[in-house]
Amino acid sequence: MNQVDVHGASILLVDDKQANLDLLEQSLSKAGYSHIQQTSDPAKVIELHLSGRCDLILLDMDFLGAGGLTLLKSLRKHIASPYLCVIVVTENLGFKLHSLQTGAKDALGKPYEMEELLARVHNALEARLSYRSLEANIGKLEQQFIERTSELQLSEARFRGFTDLVSDWYWEQDPTGSFTKVSGPVPEILGIAVDSTAESTNTLLGTGWNAQEQSILRGKISAREPFLDFEFTRNTPEGGQQTYLVSGQPMFDRTCNFLGYRGIGVEISAVKNH
């Protein structure tokens, strides 16, 4: 945070004495601040703050009395940001404590030295602008996350469309082996009903499969190994034989936690028979 940013911040002065307002504005201007508003009407504070997006409110509490605490509560209610940058000035110790408890970021007793007030203003504005910058960065990250998620969803849709063209079916399993996604004519190819949300690999491999091939495939899945064009066969009840090629790969997140498998399968029975 550089001095240009701090001195370019918007400051609202609130006091019932015009002489005090003029002195504060003059001192702040000499210190380099260029965006200063003032009012002696507490009813206009929220309006001025919302219209000018003030970075700091310097509020004299003594002329407001308990109404100053009500004003602080109203500011918190009407301002979307949880960061309420208000410095309270008062000679009442009770008001100082209650103001801080109500949300003011700082409280300065009377009488005060102008140099101390300027230092507190500078520090409060640095904190406020840093928080605003953080809010903006979080907003950008959230937008990037939304855009990236949309891109991934579109990419997955394209991938699924591509696999539909080059394979008979597409599948995904969770870490327990249960299907989470299945596309394509799986029941027709396998000759069994597949519940894409509940059936496990064991159900998929059911009866009629070559026991040796079944054991090898289970071993690869248990070891979380990728496999390419793994060939396995199934004898149909009619006495025929179905042959498939299956390719799969384990899925992991960024912290290397196992998420399951995804893969594609294609029936090559007709090719084998020719």
What CATH code is carried by the domain that includes residue 11? 3.40.50.2300
Higher pLDDT, 227 or 178: 227
What is the rounded average pLDDT for all residues in the chain? Answer: 79
Let me know if residue 13 belongs to a domain.
Answer: yes
Kindly state whether residues 124 and 64 are assigned to the same domain.
Answer: yes
pLDDT digits (tens, 9 = 90+) for 136-185: 777 677 777 777 777 766 666 665 555 555 567 777 888 887 778 777 65
Kindly state whether residues 178 and 241 are assigned to the same domain.
Answer: yes
Kindly state whether residues 181 and 216 are assigned to the same domain.
Answer: yes
Kindly state whether residues 24 and 89 are assigned to the same domain.
Answer: yes
Kindly state whether residues 125 and 185 are assigned to the same domain.
Answer: no
Q: What is the pTM of this model?
A: 0.51
Instruction: Decide if 62 contacts 110 (C-beta within 8 A).
Output: yes
- What is the distance between the alpha carbons of residues 208 and 242, in angstroms, rounded to a whole number? 10
Q: How many CA within 13 A on the CB side of residue 123? A: 10
Return the CATH number at 209: 3.30.450.20
Predicted confidence band at 53 (pLDDT cuts at 50, 70, 90)?
confident
214, burial (CB in 10 Å: exposed 0-12, middle 13-18, buried 19+):
middle
Amino acid at 194: V
**Residue 24, token pair as written in the block:** 């504060």
Let me know if residue 148 belongs to a domain.
Answer: no
Kindly state whether residues 203 and 251 are assigned to the same domain.
Answer: yes
Q: How many CA within 13 A on the CB side of residue 261? A: 28
**Residue 161, token pair as written in the block:** 């469309």
Q: Which residue range forms the structural domain that includes residue 120?
A: 3-140
Beta bridge partners of 12: 37, 57
**Residue 49, token pair as written in the block:** 């703050």
Let me know if residue 184 belongs to a domain.
Answer: yes
Q: What does DSSP say about strands 86-90 and 227-235: parallel, antiparallel, or unpaired?
A: unpaired
Kindly state whether residues 173 and 131 are assigned to the same domain.
Answer: no
**Residue 110, token pair as written in the block:** 């009377």
